[in-house]
Amino acid sequence: MRASNVLGFKCVRCGKEWPDAKDYVCVSCGGNLDVVYDYRAIKKKLSRESLKKNRDTSVWRYREILPISRYRGVPVVHIGGTPLYKADRLGADLGLKDLWLKDDGRNPSASFKDRAGSVAVAKALELGEKVVTGASTGNAASSMACLTAGLGLKTIIFVPEKAPVAKIAQLLVFGATVIAVKGTYDQAFDLCLKATEEFGWYNRNTGHNPFTREGKKTASFEVVEQLGWKVPDKVFVSVGDGNIISGLWKGFKDFHSLGLIDRLPRLVGVQAEKSDAIKRAFESDGVIRPVSGETLADSISVSLPRDGDAAVKALRESKGFAVSVTDDEILDAMRATARRESVFGEPAGVASVAGLKKAAAQGLVQAGEKIVALITGNGLKDVASAMKAVGKPFLIEPDEGELQKLPGLLGMVPGRRTA
């Protein structure tokens, strides 16, 4: 079923057009598909005025530009509409005057992936699917589990055995069937694709399913609206498979094609040092080649990015660039973002800030530029990594004498409270 606002699908790799996405990807070359919209028709319904009157603050606010024809039964939990904070203290530390943080850890399953899940689940319901499956480093899966809970869909998830325990707990609590794979995310992904072929389940895998990008683009719409219709100069985002960055680009381009904004931002993709296949491709011939994928930031630990072509395209078309960061730089960004702006992000969630710090130090951003950094996942998703960023608490007996010994250690001048 094709929504009336959709003209068809275009292969990101070879450009061939297809009337539907029943095979998920381009049958000619295996490239991922991109949804092509009828902007002329959408323009008649979606305008700054219509958005001003719209009271819905969730992703469904943008339904005129989403590829869904039937919204009955879609998840009712509030997805999207996350805060955009002016980050003056962190900005001052980095020498930036106009820095904003979008906290997507505030979504129902505590990550940006709820945006992708919203549209993928709506599509599965529209198609009358009974079983949905997906492979994930953890967040996409926990989102699927959260969003499908109670909807009458069976959800079967493939995750690497070593996914952080909080993400596995989410999956199990929300009632998904969880298959932990003794291997990497990439191996879980391939196994999930085989399961789809074998059993005909609806597949939500990042990039492979053309609708995840469509949900992710809603973050760009929100950023523009939250900035009072101003377009940021640069948007920093962490990159694993490359589906968030390609989704963001789609969102900005949609608004531009609809005449809602008159310029586009530059996108900056931040990858972990050994999980930098997209950065390498972008800086060379554009061809994605596998890397080791090792990093403590599990959500961006990817050997072979599954939306790499679209991510490289987003970087090139937006005249952006890519930065790579070490695990230590990521942990430093976790502390800085939490301690200066009260936003606690998981390692992949704050990699954007680590990349921004590096880019600022290299003179790749200017002090007056309007910069948005996306925080893509909540810090409680991976407490073990967070503990690596910090020291231990003071441990004492429940005894006042021991407490009296502490002020020096706490860096405090001992004093008496006066009445």
Ligand X SMILES: Cc1ncc(COP(=O)(O)O)c(C=O)c1O
Site residues for ligand X per CB under 6 A: 111-113, 137, 139-140, 206, 238-244, 299-300, 346, 348-349, 376-377
Nearer to ligand X, 6 or 144 (CB): 144
**How far apart (Å, rounded) are the C-alpha atoms in residues 151 and 80?**
19
Smallest gap from Cβ 243 to Zn ion, in A, equals 17
What are the residues whose beta carbons fall under 8 Å from the beta carbon of 98, sequence distance 6 or more?
91, 368, 369, 370, 371
Nearer to ligand X, 225 or 298 (CB): 298
Q: Choose the contact partner of 137 out of ligand X, Zn ion, none; CB within 5 to 8 A by kind.
A: ligand X
**How far apart (Å, rounded) are the C-alpha atoms in residues 301 and 289?**
14
Smallest gap from Cβ 349 to ligand X, in A, equals 5
Nearer to Zn ion, 31 or 379 (CB): 31
Smallest gap from Cβ 25 to Zn ion, in A, equals 8
Smallest gap from Cβ 80 to Zn ion, in A, equals 30
Nearer to Zn ion, 272 or 311 (CB): 311
Amino acid at 35: V
Smallest gap from Cβ 137 to ligand X, in A, equals 5
Options 13-21, 232-240, 265-273, 394-402: segment touching Zn ion (CB under 5 A) = 13-21
For residue 248, what are its two tokens? 């963001």
Q: Choose the contact partner of 143 out of ligand X, Zn ion, none; CB within 5 to 8 A by kind.
A: none
User: Is residue 26 close enough to count as binding Zn ion by CB under 5 A?
Assistant: yes
In 3D space, the residue among 139, 124, 135, 206 whose CA is nearest the CA of residue 170 turns out to be 139
Q: Kindly state the helix (H) or strand (E) to which residue 35 belongs, with its residue range.
A: strand 33-37
Q: Choose the contact partner of 238 out of Zn ion, ligand X, none; CB within 5 to 8 A by kind.
A: ligand X
CB 181 within 8 A of CB 187: yes
Q: What is the DSSP string of 264-279?
A: -PEEEEEEETTS-HHH
User: Is residue 403 close enough to count as binding Zn ion by CB under 5 A?
Assistant: no
**How far apart (Å, rounded) are the C-alpha atoms in residues 291 and 276?**
7
Nearer to Zn ion, 21 or 365 (CB): 21
What are the backbone angles phi and psi of residue 373, rounded to the nearest 5°? -115, 130
Nearer to ligand X, 137 or 218 (CB): 137
User: Is residue 292 close enough to count as binding Zn ion by CB under 5 A?
Assistant: no
Q: Choose the contact partner of 376 out of ligand X, Zn ion, none; CB within 5 to 8 A by kind.
A: ligand X
Nearer to ligand X, 46 or 248 (CB): 248
Amino acid at 256: H
Smallest gap from Cβ 175 to ligand X, in A, equals 21
Residue nearest to ligand X (CB): 377
Q: Choose the contact partner of 58 out of ligand X, Zn ion, none; CB within 5 to 8 A by kind.
A: none
DSSP state of 204: -
Q: What is the DSSP string of 278-291?
A: HHHHHHTTS-----
For residue 133, what are its two tokens? 């499956």
Q: 14, 41, 367, 384: which one contacts Zn ion (CB under 5 A)? A: 14
| Residue 319 CB neighbour total at 10 angstroms | 10
Amino acid at 393: P
Q: What is the dihedral of CA 166, 191, 315, 376, to 10 degrees?
A: -10
User: Is residue 27 close enough to count as binding Zn ion by CB under 5 A?
Assistant: no
Residue ranges that bind Zn ion, judged by CB under 5 A:
11, 13-14, 16, 26, 28-29, 31
